[in-house]
Chain A
Amino acid sequence: MARITLDTLAHSYLPAPTGEADYALKEMNHVWEDGGAYALLGPSGCGKSTLLNIISGLLQPSHGRVLFGEEDVTHAPTAARNIAQVFQFPVVYDTMTVRENLAFPLRNRGMEAAYVRSRVEEIARMIGMEEALNRKARGLTADAKQKISLGRGMVREDVNAILFDEPLTVIDPHMKFELRTQLKALHRQFAHTMIYVTHDQTEALTFADKVVVMYDGRVVQMGTPEELFDRPAHTFVGYFIGSPGMNILDAEVAGTRARVHGSEIALGERYAEVGGRVQIGVRPEFCLLSRDEGLPLRVTRVEDVGRHRIVRGETEAGSVNLTLPEGMPIEEGADRVVFAPERINVYSDDWRVTPDGRAA
Chain B
Amino acid sequence: MDKTQNNRAWFLVLPVLILVAFSAVIPLMTVVNYSVQDTFGNNQFFWAGLDWFRDMLHSDRMWNALGRQAIFSAIILVIEVPLGILVALHMPRRGFWASFCLVVMALPLLIPFNVVGTIWQIFGRVDIGLLGHTLASLGIDYNYTSDPIDAWVTVIVMDVWHWTSLVALLAYAGLQSIPEAYYQAARIDQASRWAVFRYIELPKMQGVLLIAILLRFMDSFMIYTEPFVVTGGGPGNTTTFLSIDLVKMAIGQFDLGPAAAFSIMYFLVILLVSWVFYTVMTNLDRKDVTR
Q: Is the CB of A93 within 8 A of B190?
A: no
Chain A hits for B195, CB < 8 A: 108
- Across the interface, A104 reaches (CB within 8 A) one of B179, B187, B189, namely B189
User: What bracket does the count of chain A residues touching chain B fall in?
Assistant: 20 to 34
Q: Is the CB of B190 within 8 A of A108?
A: yes
Complex CA–CA separation, A201 to B288 (angstroms): 34
Contact A104 to B191, CB < 8 A, known contacts A95-B199, A96-B199: yes
Is A138 in contact with chain B by the CB < 8 A criterion?
A: yes
Is B137 in contact with chain A by the CB < 8 A criterion?
A: no
Within 8 A of A (CB), among B171-223: 179, 181-182, 184-185, 187-192, 195, 199-200, 202-204
Is A48 in contact with chain B by the CB < 8 A criterion?
A: no
The closest CB in chain B to the CB of A56 belongs to B188
Is B291 in contact with chain A by the CB < 8 A criterion?
A: yes
Q: Is the CB of A105 within 8 A of B287?
A: no
Min CB gap B175→A, angstroms: 15
- Looking at A82-90, A264-272, A292-300, the stretch in contact with chain B turns out to be A82-90
Complex CA–CA separation, A140 to B289 (angstroms): 10
Q: Is the CB of B185 within 8 A of A87?
A: yes
Min CB gap A138→B, angstroms: 6
Q: Is the CB of A139 within 8 A of B182?
A: no
Complex CA–CA separation, A95 to B192 (angstroms): 16
Q: Is the CB of B191 within 8 A of A87?
A: no
Write out, one digit per residue, whether chain A residues 156-178 have a CB within 8 A of any chain B CB (1) or not (0): 00000000000000000000000
Q: Is the CB of A79 within 8 A of B199?
A: no
Contact A85 to B291, CB < 8 A, known contacts A104-B191, A108-B191, A108-B195: no
Q: Is the CB of B184 within 8 A of A85?
A: yes
The closest CB in chain A to the CB of B188 belongs to A85
Chain A hits for B203, CB < 8 A: 93-95, 138
Complex CA–CA separation, A96 to B189 (angstroms): 14
- Across the interface, A109 reaches (CB within 8 A) one of B179, B185, B190, namely B190
Q: Is the CB of A108 within 8 A of B287?
A: no
Chain A hits for B190, CB < 8 A: 79, 105, 108-109
The closest CB in chain A to the CB of B180 belongs to A58
Contact A58 to B187, CB < 8 A, known contacts A91-B181, A91-B182: yes
Min CB gap A141→B, angstroms: 7
Write out, one digit per residue, whether chain B residues 247-291 have a CB within 8 A of any chain A CB (1) or not (0): 000000000000000000000000000000000000000011011
Complex CA–CA separation, A138 to B190 (angstroms): 22
Is A152 in contact with chain B by the CB < 8 A criterion?
A: yes
Q: Is the CB of A108 within 8 A of B192?
A: yes
Interchain Cβ contacts under 8 Å between A and B, 11 examples: A79-B187, A85-B184, A85-B185, A88-B181, A91-B182, A93-B199, A95-B203, A105-B190, A138-B291, A145-B291, A152-B185
The 7 closest A-B pairs by CB, nearest first: A91-B185, A108-B190, A78-B187, A93-B199, A105-B189, A87-B181, A139-B291
